Amino acid sequence: MKRLSVVIPALNEADRIGKTLLYVREYLASQPYEAEVLVVDDGSSDDTSGTVRRLGWPAVSVHRLEQNRGKGYAVGYGMRHAEGDYILFCDADNATPFEQVERFWPAIEHADIAIGSRYVEGSDIVLKQSLLRRMGARAGNRLVRIARLSRFRDTQCGFKMFRREAARLVFARQTIWRWGFDIEILHVAACLGLRVVEVPVDWLDQTGSKVHSVGTFLATFGDLVAIRWRSLSGVYREPRDHGSP
């Protein structure tokens, strides 16, 4: 059994995914445990999948979705197919440098889920986002708190680790496929009584982000309404069939 599975959702990442995987491979080569990497190509129109395959790294597998389903769907697909005792999902741009995983091992020892946070003591934002994106992120977090969907300072950092059993429970109940999926999975974890801890991480903003502040904010607001409604309706008490969104 592999100790760690790494899930990387990727949409049109041909220019960045190779560099990130070389970084991950170098780090994992120095570790005593066995690991696997699952790149979930979310219907890319570029050569993302080909770039990954040409690396010739036996530990990495490519799972290509024929059409774009959303980052949340790609993450959920990878989490449900991973085999490690612990499953980490991270972004293709390596904005949270992969070696930050070292901070997660002691944190998850007494938890079910450990989530990276840019806004708790001990974190270091080496290169900041634009002012507009920072304002959007803070406004979004305030809305999440007002809606009583999460108590965490940072729900959106794309660096989260799950025990395999916790991942199975949470992602079996996932219904949000795009921007609001992080908020949903953390709310599902709370509904299930799972233990979640925030872990401070280093973070570097990367160019080429697919997050567009105004549109993303509006879409996420709609997701918050849907999550609150589904929570009140008891949807998260039962697992969901993920054959289609």
Domain annotation for the chain: domains and CATH numbers: 4-237 (3.90.550.10)
Is 1 within 8 Å of 83 (Cβ atoms)?
A: yes
Residue 41 token pair: 């190509």
169 has pLDDT over 90: yes
239 vs 210: which has the higher pLDDT: 239
Provide the sign of the torsion angle of the four alpha carbons 228, 234, 238, 243, taken in this order: negative
pTM of the model: 0.88
Provide the mean pLDDT of the chain: 88
pLDDT digits (tens, 9 = 90+) for 170-180: 999 999 999 89
3-state secondary structure of 30: coil
The 10 Å CB-count burial string (b at 16+, else e) for 189-209 is bbbeebebbbbbbbbeeeeee
pLDDT digits (tens, 9 = 90+) for 89-123: 999 999 999 999 999 999 999 999 999 999 888 88
131 has pLDDT over 70: no
Bridge partners (DSSP) listed for residue 117 = 200
